[in-house]
Structures are given as C-alpha cells and as structure tokens.
C-alpha cells in the first residue's frame, strides 16, 4: 500500500495551480505531483496543460484536470470555481500573472486595467472563493504569487508593482486572519527567475544586477517555507541579503534604471542612464 505523506494528508487530495502552463506554475505542478497530490492545472493554453498533465500522471501516478481560463476576465474565478466544484481541493497556488513594462502614462490604460485584474483582483477573488471552501472543509493552504520589489515600487512597471503590493498585503493579512480556521496562507515574493517573462521584458540575464534563479529552486524554497508556516518567502539567500542591506530608495532607483535601459534598447533608442 502506498504511504500517504503528512503533506498530502494536510493539503490533499487535490491541489489547484493557476498559471500552470509554464514557468513557476508548471514547476509547482511537478513538485506537488511528486508529493503525491492530484493537480488541477489552470491557464489559457489547453495543449500545454494537457501535455503537462499527461507528463505528471505518467511520472507520479496522480490524477489531473485541465481547466482553460483567462483570469484577466471579469467572471473567470467564478468559472474556475464551477469547473472544480466536485473536487476536494486542499491547496491553492494562485500563481497566474504577467507584466508589460513601460511608461505608466504612455501605456494603454485599458491594458493596464486588464493586467490589474490578472495580477491583483484574480488573487483577491481566488482567496475569497477558495478561502471559504477551505474553511468549510476544515483547513488547507493558500499560496499567493507576489513579486520582488513590488512593496517598494518599481519604476516603469508601476501598474504591476501596485498590483503585486496588494497581493502581498492581502497574503500577510490573511496569514493571521485565516490561521484560526486552520488555513495556512503564504505569499511567494518571486525574485528574478528563469521564465518567459525575462525574455518578454527584454532583459539579459548576464547583465541583470540580480541573477535569475531556476524555477526548481524558486518553487522548492517556497514549499519548504510553506511547510514551516511562514507568511512570506523570498527565495535565494542573495536576494534576501540585498533586500535587507540595500536601502529601499536605492533599490527602487536600481530597478528603474534597469527597466528604463531595457525599454530603450527594445525601442531602438540605445541605453539611457540617468542619475539617481
């Protein structure tokens, strides 16, 4: 008879991962399946979800379900909830998100609002809907995806930073509030990580002041912190040291310069360096 781990007993039998088609979300799927959890994979790209589902079913012998959903849409979380209403989900990893760096005033505001729904409101709605379900079942876990630097502001990524700052504050608040309902809530403060968003932003890992880590390390450290009951996890010792010793005003300027120079190269204007 297969032994059921304490993690599966506490957070199983099913987990739900949003943004599961690639990057950090896909790695969460793999590592949770390796623990023995069956996994709901939610994202926009069905073919990628199905391929990943088949991979982990074959490797780990778990069940999977693909749910195609665009979490930037108004009623998306309600549709997601309806699609998994028959499952006993004990762990939710609300990971979906993306960014579109650029000048705040120049970027299309309708697109900013769409991204805000994805990067902030979707997490808010998931926490409320599935938080109620976890409370009814007597406990479980909720892991929210944040972003390094969001709490102090990121020039040329102001909309995304504001959204992820909301998520971090939400997670810290719910960590205390929902603990009495036996729900463990943690925010993963995602550092620079080797995912498609690095390429989308036009960043060169070789010249970034904070070197991207692997998705494997990011997720492994996150789950380790989650098991310990932490409210917040910033993976990578170097990232934690930098966030502690570098003043926030300096860090904010550093990140702003990096993004401004990247945008200038992307737009064919050459590097532009400004003083702090």
pLDDT digits (tens, 9 = 90+) for 17-66: 999 999 999 999 999 999 999 999 999 999 999 999 999 999 999 999 99
**Per-residue confidence band for 205, with pLDDT thresholds at 50, 70 and 90:** low
How many CB atoms are located within 10 Å of the residue 1 CB? Answer: 3
| Sign of the alpha-carbon torsion through 140, 69, 190, 177 | negative
Higher pLDDT, 272 or 97: 97
**Per-residue confidence band for 173, with pLDDT thresholds at 50, 70 and 90:** very high
**Which residues make Cβ contacts (< 8 Å) with residue 132, sequence separation at least 6?**
none
Question: Which structural domains are found in the chain, ordered by start?
Answer: 6-239 (3.40.50.720)
Determine the Cα–Cα distance for residues 76 and 18; give it in Å rounded to an integer. 12
- Helix spans in 85-121 (H): 109-116
Determine the Cα–Cα distance for residues 67 and 50; give it in Å rounded to an integer. 9
pLDDT score recorded for residue 124? 98
Mean pLDDT across the chain: 91
Q: What is the pTM of this model?
A: 0.90
pLDDT score recorded for residue 269? 55
pLDDT score recorded for residue 22? 94
Which of these ranges, 50-64, 132-146, 216-230, 249-263, has the smallest mean pLDDT? 249-263
pLDDT score recorded for residue 271? 41
Determine the Cα–Cα distance for residues 75 and 95; give it in Å rounded to an integer. 18
């Amino acid at each position: 008879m297969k032994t059921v781990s304490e993690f599966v007993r506490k957070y199983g039998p099913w987990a739900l991962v949003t943004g599961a088609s690639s990057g950090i979300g896909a790695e969460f799927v793999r590592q949770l399946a390796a623990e023995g959890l069956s996994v709901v994979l939610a994202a926009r790209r069905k073919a990628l979800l199905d391929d990943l589902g088949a991979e982990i079913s074959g490797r780990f012998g778990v069940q999977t379900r693909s749910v195609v959903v665009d979490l930037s849409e108004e009623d998306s979380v309600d549709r997601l909830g309806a699609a998994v209403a028959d499952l006993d989900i004990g762990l939710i990893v609300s990971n979906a998100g993306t960014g579109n760096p650029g000048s705040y005033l120049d970027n299309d505001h309708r697109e900013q609002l769409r991204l805000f729904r994805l990067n902030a409101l979707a997490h808010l709605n998931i926490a409320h809907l599935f938080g109620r379900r976890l409370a009814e079942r007597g406990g479980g876990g909720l892991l929210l995806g944040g972003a390094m630097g969001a709490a102090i502001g990121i020039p040329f990524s102001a909309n995304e930073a504001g959204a992820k700052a909301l998520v971090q504050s939400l997670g810290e608040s719910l960590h205390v509030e929902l603990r009495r309902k036996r729900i463990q809530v943690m925010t993963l403060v995602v550092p620079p990580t080797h995912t498609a968003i690095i390429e989308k932003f036009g960043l060169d890992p070789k010249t970034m002041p904070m070197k991207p880590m692997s998705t494997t390390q990011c997720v492994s450290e996150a789950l380790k912190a989650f098991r310990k009951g932490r409210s917040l996890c910033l993976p990578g010792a170097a990232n934690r040291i930098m966030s502690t010793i570098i003043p926030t005003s300096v860090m904010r300027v550093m990140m702003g310069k990096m993004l401004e120079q990247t945008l200038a190269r992307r737009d064919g204007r050459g590097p532009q360096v400004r003083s702090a």
